[in-house]
Amino acid sequence: MKLRRTFLAFAAGAMLAAGPAQAVDMAIVSGDTGNGLQVLREILDQFEENTGNKVTIVPMPTSTTDQFGQYRLWLAAQNTDIDVYQTDVIWAPQLANQLVDLTEATRDVVGAHFPSIIESQTVDGRLVALPVFTDAPALYYRKDLLDKYGAKVPTTWAELTETAKLVMDKEREAGHTDMWGFVFQGNAYEGLTCNALEWVKSNGGGQIIEPDGTISINNPQAAAAVEMAKGWVGTISPPGVLAYQEEEARGVWQTGNSVFMRNWPYAYSLSNGEDSAVKGKFDVTTLPAGSGEGARSAATLGGWNLAVSKYSNNPEAAIELVKWIASPEMQKYRTLRTSNLPTIQTLYDDADVAREQPIVPRWKDVFLNAVPRPSAPVKIKYNEVSSQFWTAVHKTMSGEGTAADNLAELEISLTKLKGAGW
Ligand code: GLC
224-264 confidence digits (pLDDT tens): 999 999 999 999 999 999 999 999 999 999 999 999 999 99
Q: Based on DSSP, count helices (H) and strands (E) in the chain, helices before strands.
A: 19, 11
Cα→Cα distances 42→55, 57, 232, 243, 323, Å: 11, 11, 40, 32, 16
The pLDDT of residue 9: 45
Domains of the chain: 2-135+302-367 (3.40.190.10), 138-300+372-419 (3.40.190.10)
**What is the sign of the dihedral through the CA atoms of 99, 103, 104 and 107?**
positive
Query: How many A from CA of 303 to the centre of ligand 1?
Result: 6
pLDDT higher than 50, residue 319 = yes
Query: How many A from CA of 64 to the centre of ligand 1?
Result: 7
Query: How many A from CA of 115 to the centre of ligand 1?
Result: 20
Calpha distance 114→396 (Å, rounded): 37
What is the tens place of the pLDDT at every residue in 60-100?
A: 999 999 999 999 999 999 999 999 999 999 999 999 999 99
Q: Could you count the other beta carbons within 10 Å of the beta carbon of residue 128? A: 24
The pLDDT of residue 347: 98
**Among the listed residues 335, 308, 319, 325, the one whose alpha carbon sits nearest the alpha carbon of residue 3:** 325
What is the tens place of the pLDDT at every residue in 9-29?
A: 444 444 444 444 689 999 999
DSSP 8-class letter at 33: -
How many C-alpha atoms does 153 have within 13 Å on its Cβ side?
Answer: 15
Please, which pLDDT band fits residue 420 given cuts at 50, 70 and 90? confident
Residue of 264, 367, 371, 385 with the most ligand 1 atoms within 8 Å of its CB, for mutation: 264
| Lining residues, ligand 1, CB within 6 Å | 64, 88-89, 135, 190-191, 194, 246, 264, 302-304
pLDDT higher than 50, residue 7 = no
User: Would you say 374 and 356 are in contact if contact means Cβ atoms under 8 Å apart?
Assistant: no
Which atom belonging to ligand 1 lies closest to the Cα atom of 88? 9
Q: Side chain identity at 409, as an amino acid letter? A: E
**12-49 burial code (b ≥16 CB/10 A, e <16):** eebeeeeeebeebebbbbbbbbbebbebbeebbebbee
Query: How many A from CA of 77 to the centre of ligand 1?
Result: 25
The pLDDT of residue 396: 98
Helix residue ranges per DSSP H, 203-259: 220-232, 246-254
83 burial level (CB within 10 Å; 0-12, 13-18, 19+) = buried
The pLDDT of residue 292: 87
